[in-house]
Amino acid sequence: MSSLSASQNSAPFEVSPGYWSGVIGRLRRDPVAMFALLVILALVLMALFAPYIAPNDPYRGQLLRRLRPIGTAGFPLGTDELGRDMLSRLIYGARLSLLMGVTPVFIAFFFGAFIGITAGFVGGKVNSLLMRTVDVFFAFPSVLLAIALSGALGAGIFNGLLSLSIVFIPPIARIAESVTTGVRKLEYIEAARASGASSMTIVRVHVLGNVLGPIFVYATGLISVSLILASGLSFLGLGVKPPEPEWGLMLNTLRNAIYVQPWVAALPGLMIFCTSISFNLFSDGLRSAMDLKS
Amino acid sequence: MIPAPLFSAQNLVKHFRLKGGLLGSSRGVVRAVDNVSFDLAEGETLGIVGESGCGKSTTARLIVDLISPDAGTITLGGKLLGKHISARELRRQIQMVFQDSYASLNPRLTMEDAIAFGPKVNGMSPQQAARLAHELLERVGLEPRRFAGRYPHELSGGQRQRVNIARALAFSPKIVVLDESVSALDKSVEAQVLNLLADLKAELGLTYVFISHDLNVVRHMSDRVMVMYLGQVAEIGTVEAIYSAPAHPYTAALLSAMPSMDPDRRTMEAPLTGDPPNPINPPAGCRFHTRCKHADTICAAVEPGLFGLPGEGHQVACHIHIPGSNHRNRGVEA
């Protein structure tokens, strides 16, 4: 065959850059998303190398130097209500705060995507059953649900993670279901079906690649919500317990000092704000980079 | 009749239940395809025409078994579907090219992977499948070296539709169903793709079911034409018979709505007014009687069956042509 000799010809095939390399290329040209990513990376590094970066022991306090203002010699960000170094506590706090922010979203991504894709692809009664069950959880405001679950399970990091994971499964399952339902109706799925492919093969080759991206983008947007909820749980005494440094908890314990040292008391909130907005901006950038039509 | 047709559909029925009531109760039934029968002879092209919603696409999906009929039988090469031939085997022999060239290609797969997917699913080795994909790309006029590694959004509509055709050919099918496959393309590109389809048919001995709302294109491509109205066959016959001597008033109206280059043949009045009636509650009797200028009392009461006219395989479902129907215009040209 002529085409056979053509394909054996030494001239190489033109290969278009793959979808993801295009996404990365577009992302790299987005200054806001890149800056947000830089902030996130800095936070992660800070959490990982906290013992090397922190100037003081975050647990040791001296009551004689309580609530020093920002700029005190030896304590650049002041001290908290027990005289512990704020800078060190904020650096160590990144560990628990990021853990509480990111882990539930990843766990929920796994289960939510599984539920949503199954419901969307199978459709019919399975869809109704799964999605109405999810709706029951969705009916509660996420804050209330997290508080109720944590309250029932008892305070602690693990229970906090568990309740936050459960809180995020419904919204992710919703998005996964609607994206999958949209993809399932497209003609390339029909064409694959016409070629005799099994449902598992169709899901693996044609569905996952087209739905995981949008679901992932949505999930990254939830990281900021998770951070805030986790901080909220700690603030209410349902998440991390003192004396662990965690931004939400620090915000809680410093709230009495708001009239004495307002700037110091606001620092943990500032960290939460910066982290969550960075995740949000990065997720926005990822969304537009993944849009082929733009 | 033509001896032993390649494909035969007998009394196909497909009704879609409209859901929406509480607990999935039905709000009504869309009679998308109602008692449709036709044969395909090997190597011919059957054109299917009709307005939107007349059941053309549902018929196409029934032919390739993407949806299964509520009633009726499908026979391929004398073998009854579900009894002598499996759905899987039928799908391999009857492939389909869809209208939307973009939606019918997975945006994450290269052209090579898109074409090779079907053969791989059916047990071909990846190397063989890739080679086959390159051959098919070449056959539909796309240089494999340039196009095999590309993604759908990097191709034009015409190029994508060529890839879709290549994918349909990957199984060496006997029948290819073209559901409005060229309708979304520019006229010049459409002509190129039509020529490609004609070449492929001659080369590979394919049989086509060509669905379109463009009567000129159907006339150019088809050997026989089936006119559908509200899920039923109004008229079926050779392209000459249908276009030069339409027997059904609906066919005549459709044809007179065709744009003509000849000023003498242009008409000012609209041959048909209004939309087709709702297929949820189609009119009793002849479904066309609500819009037919020849409608008589019998038309509203009795559903006309297909009646054979003189001329090869020419059949029409109209009381005007059915002997003893008491239609006032019985025997008068439509």
Look at residue B74 and tell me if it is in a domain: yes
CA dist B112 and A7 (Å) reads 12
For testing the chain B interface, which of A9, A13, A290 should be mutated: the one with the most B CBs within 10 Å? Answer: A13
Classify residue B133: in a domain, yes or no. Answer: no
| Number of domains comprising chain B | 1
- Give the C-alpha separation, B33 to B232, whole Å: 6
Question: B1 in a domain, yes or no?
Answer: no
Q: Which two tokens stand for residue B140?
A: 């539909």
* Structure confidence at residue B270 (pLDDT): 66
Per-residue pLDDT of chain A (294 residues; tens, 9 = 90+): 444 444 444 566 777 777 778 888 889 999 999 999 999 999 999 999 989 988 888 888 888 888 888 887 888 888 888 889 889 999 999 999 999 889 999 999 999 999 999 999 998 899 999 999 999 988 888 888 889 999 899 888 899 999 999 999 999 999 999 999 999 989 999 889 888 888 999 999 999 988 988 898 899 889 888 888 888 888 888 888 888 898 888 888 888 888 888 888 899 989 989 998 999 999 989 888 887 654
Smallest CA–CA distance from A14 into chain B, residue:
B146
* Global confidence as pTM: 0.81
Q: Kindly list the structural domains of chain A, giving each domain's residue range(s) and its CATH number in brackets, ordered by start.
A: 105-294 (1.10.3720.10)
- Look at residues A279, A284, A222 and name the one whose alpha carbon lies nearest to residue A37: A279
| Cross-chain residue pair A16–B98, CB shorter than 8 Å | no
Contact between chains at A188 and B110 (C-beta distance less than 8 A): no
Nearest CB neighbour to B121, from listed A1, A187, A201: A201
Whole-angstrom distance, CA of residue B34 vs CA of residue B13? 5
Contact list in A for residue B183 (CB cut-off 8 A) is: none
Contact check, Cβ <8 Å, B107/A19: yes
| DSSP 8-state code for residue A257 | G
The verdict on a CB contact (< 8 Å) between B109 and A7 is: no
* pLDDT, tens only, B141-161: 999 999 998 889 889 999 999
Nearest to A188 among B24, B106, B135 (CB): B106
Structural domain for B76, as ranges: 7-19+27-105+152-321
B182 in a structural domain: yes
Chain B residues with CB-CB distance to A188 below 8 A: 103-106, 114
The sheet with strand B71-76 has its strands ordered as B28-40, B7-18, B71-76, B79-80
Task: Please indicate, yes or no, if residue B329 is contained in any of the structural domains.
Answer: no
The minimal CB distance from A19 to the residues B108, B137, B149 is found for B108
Q: Where are the alpha helices (DSSP H) in A244-261?
A: 247-254
B113-123, pLDDT tens digit by residue? 999 999 998 88
Residue among A195, A210, A212, A290 with most chain B CBs within 10 A, to mutate: A195
**A26, A187, A205, A208: best to mutate for the B interface, most B CBs within 10 A:** A187
Contacts of A232 (CB under 8 A, 6+ apart): A143, A146, A147, A248
In whole angstroms, give the CA distance from residue A269 to residue A247.
7
CB contact (8 A) between residue B150 and residue A2? no
| A190 interfacial to chain B (CB closer than 8 Å) | yes
Q: Give residue B266's pLDDT.
A: 64
- Whether residues A14 and B122 touch (CB distance < 8 A) is answered with no
> Is the CB of A13 inside 8 Å of chain B's CB atoms?
yes
Using a CB-CB cut-off of 8 Å, the residues of chain A touching B64 are 194
**Which CATH number does the domain housing residue B157 bear?**
3.40.50.300
H or E, element range at B111: helix B111-121
Q: Chain B residue closest to A201 (CA)?
A: B121
Structure tokens at B247: 């027997």
C-alpha to C-alpha distances, A173 to A111, A124, A164, A218, nearest whole angstrom: 8, 16, 15, 11
Domain-embedded: residue B40: yes
Cross-chain Cβ contact A7/B131 below 8 Å: yes
